[in-house]
A and B are shown apart, each in its own frame.
Chain A
Amino acid sequence: MAKHAALSEKFIADEPRTDWHDETLWFVRQKRDKAAHGLPGWEQLRELASQIKNHTLSNLEKYLRQFEQQAKANGITVHWAADGDEHNKIIHDIIRKHNIEKIVKSKSMLTEECHLNEYLLHQGIEVVDTDLGERIVQFRKEPPSHIVLPAIHLKKQDVSETFHKYLQTEKGNNDPQYLTEAARQHLRDKFIQSELAITGVNFAVAETGGFVVCTNEGNADMGAHTAAVHIACMGFEKIIPKAEHLAVFLRLLARSATGQAITTYSSHFLKARRGQEMHIVIVDNGRSKQLGRKDFRNSLKCIRCAACFNTCPVYRRSGGHSYHTAVAGPLGSIINPNMDMKANADLPFASTLCGSCSNVCPVKIDIHEQLWKWRQVVVAEGYVDASKKTGMRGMAYILAKPGMYRFAGKMGRWVMRTFPFMINNKLNAWYKQREMPEVPKQSFRDWYLKNRGK
């Protein structure tokens, strides 16, 4: 069985929890709808955002160089990393140079993608994730299941158990206020002690060399404002040409993500404060390759709002971990096959192609069309079960020949009527939880010949 299918079957086995997961994320989708309705010109704003991103992707080298130049002029050290490994080594070098032991990190899906925490742990260095949801999943040694709501697969009872184990909170106390207060005290300690703060980047502005980090908890600021060293990590597609473009993207981002008008904190970083050292690591890690794929390049327009996750009827009922990658959901299914086609060949099929993802996307990525196109690529490259291939070939052969099609149809219907057990059995995935359609004696064509035939 394909991986996503097997993992989601496990998830769905707990149906009440699946319902809860579905309803929670649907609530977020509804909040998004409400926020979008409240902003006149929403569709035009999406179009504008899409065009700015398209323009940027077509002039990427120019804007990245401009950004590097401006950032350097502001006193920031700029690093370039070809892949995740290089990204991790750059950060490790900075840590070694300063003999750093205490590290805090605000949410950065890029560092998840590069497996920074695991890499540093291997070197004996612990990174403390400071986003509440991320801290929860970090305690539990789980990856985030959602790029904006990392612990959305967990209920408050789960959090209570986790905090009881790691933060010695009262057993069985599920009060959200109590639990967040415990996390708050725990994290305050970590912030005060931290020597290095790692943050992500939501938008890097080419004309100023500055960058913007959006959080709801202020944890990026808490880290960056206390630590002596700040490293910001960004995939190279985070670049936008001008500061004025933030007026487009900041209005779309939070509304699409959570239905807020704007994130609680949209922090603009331009240069290090006195006595502080600031670094930016710009990462490729497969993005150039994706940029070279004509059908898939515009997936790099993504601003990581996760609206496509929240609207996806499959994601809501299968959970983020069923996608077995750092970035799950419909977006993950169009970017992960580029990174490792063999390991992620199942993901483009984890969709009904309903198209809701493309409709909510604030930068108008044609997500469901790319899912369809990835299916073609995955099959062409041979990452498909032999049995599926044989079945499809047989089907194509029969359906291309009208006489053969009619014979097969007649035989099939006859078998289903005469020997229903041949179809209605365990080998038939349809029949597991659904009845087969009732079989008519004659096809429409038979009827047509009788009633309209000349």
Chain B
Amino acid sequence: MRVGLFIPCYIDQFYPQVAIATLQLLEKLGCNVSFPLQQTCCGQPMANSGFAGLSKGCDKNFVKNFSGFDYVVAPSGSCVLHIKEHLEDQGHPKEAERIRNNVYELTEFLTDILKVQHINASFPHSVGFHNSCHGQRGLHLSSMTETMLPAFSKPEQLLNMVKGIQLSNPERRDECCGFGGTFCVFEEAVSVKMGKDRIKEHEVNAVEYITGGDVSCLMHLEGILKRKGSSVKTIHIAEILNSEL
């Protein structure tokens, strides 16, 4: 099974430890992983700002980098959703379509493709889980409180395999954190207020860490936590699943 590792640009630049954990985890689980060296960005920042027309260059580069893999896997629900919904390449429409169908967010790849039943990991800490909207409502990684359908959660299913972890959910278990891409700067006041409110609910549960499947949400929450001098840390789910026993 040839897996192309897609590392979103801001993870590559600012959170290499998340990418390393993702790579090591997939390798441990027996995947043949490679990281195409010329990858950049999925194009989402432009597209979500109304400039989808400007993301064609990113699309082309993405298709060039990720053609020929059985699966493309990334530790980000948001970027995967963007690729799934919007990747186009007029020069290589078949390849673009194949990628759209074979791109997976890390936790859904683990539960749905690798069908992971056990994980050799230990994380003896109190951890609050943050549902990222694009992973949850876009990729359906877990059930949503708005809909009247049976409850499930792919990321929590995996976290529950980790030894020693004390997992909790905030009272509003799937409210948006307010990151929202460029929303976080163009609507700064609402964005920060939303983030502060999320944090408050996790603090009630006395968590040491807040985790989730999207570094973007975590980066936003981390920025607020650090500013207020909180001892609560953020950590990506891949880092917990990859933590040594």
Contacts and interface: CB of A to CB of B under 8 A. Distances in A.
Interface of A: 2, 4-5, 8-9, 12, 15, 18-19, 22, 26, 33, 36-37, 42-43, 311, 313-314, 317-318, 348-356, 358-360, 372, 375-376, 378-380, 384, 388-389, 392-393, 395-397, 399-402, 405, 409, 412-413, 429-430, 432-440, 442-449, 452
Contacts of A447: 16, 19-20
A354 B20 contact: no
A376 B52 contact: yes
Shortest 4 CB-CB contacts between residues of A and residues of B: A400-B57, A434-B223, A352-B180, A379-B50
Given A399-B9, A402-B61, 5 more contacts: A354-B180, A409-B12, A430-B223, A440-B17, A444-B20
A353 B133 CA distance: 8
B197 interface: yes
15 contacts: A2-B187, A311-B146, A348-B50, A352-B178, A355-B134, A356-B176, A384-B50, A392-B54, A395-B46, A397-B57, A429-B184, A433-B188, A433-B227, A434-B195, A434-B227
B183 A33 contact: no
Interface stretch (B95-103, B137-145, B162-170): B137-145
Nearest to A379: B50
Nearest to B15: A437
Contact of B57 (A396, A413, A432): A396
B160 interface: no
Contact of B184 (A354, A430, A442): A430
Report whether over half of chain A's contact residues are helix, strand or loop; otherwise say mixed: helix
Most buried by B among A22, A351, A358, A434: A434
A356 B48 contact: no
Interface in B31-74: 35, 37-41, 43, 45-58, 60-61
Nearest to B43: A399
A43 B49 contact: no
Most buried by B among A311, A379, A399, A440: A399
B189 A372 contact: no
A409 B13 CA distance: 6
B223 A354 contact: no
Contacts of A356: 133, 137, 144, 146, 174-176
Contacts of B121: none
A351 B183 contact: yes
Contacts of B20: 444, 447
Contact of A392 (B19, B49, B133): B49
Contact of B175 (A4, A313, A392, A405): A313
A360 B190 contact: no
A392 B51 contact: yes
A37 to B, nearest CB: 6
A354 B176 contact: yes
Contacts of A355: 133-134, 137-138
Report whether over half of chain B's contact residues are helix, strand or loop; otherwise say mixed: helix
Given A430-B185, A437-B222, A444-B7, A313 B178 contact: yes
Contact of A314 (B57, B148, B179, B190): B190
B226 interface: yes
A241 B146 CA distance: 28
A278 to B, nearest CB: 39
A39 to B, nearest CB: 8
Contacts of A359: 137, 144, 146-147
A445 B12 contact: yes
Nearest to A440: B16
A443 B13 contact: yes
A349 B181 CA distance: 11
A263 B146 CA distance: 21
Contacts of A18: 193
Contact of B220 (A9, A33, A351, A434): A434
Interface in B190-245: 190-195, 197, 219-220, 222-224, 226-227
Contacts of B193: 12, 15, 18, 317
Nearest to B13: A409
B190 A12 contact: yes
Interface in B81-128: none
Contact of A444 (B19, B60, B180, B222): B19
A351 B223 CA distance: 20
A397 B61 CA distance: 12
Contacts of B35: 444-445, 448, 452
A349 B186 CA distance: 9
A352 B16 contact: no
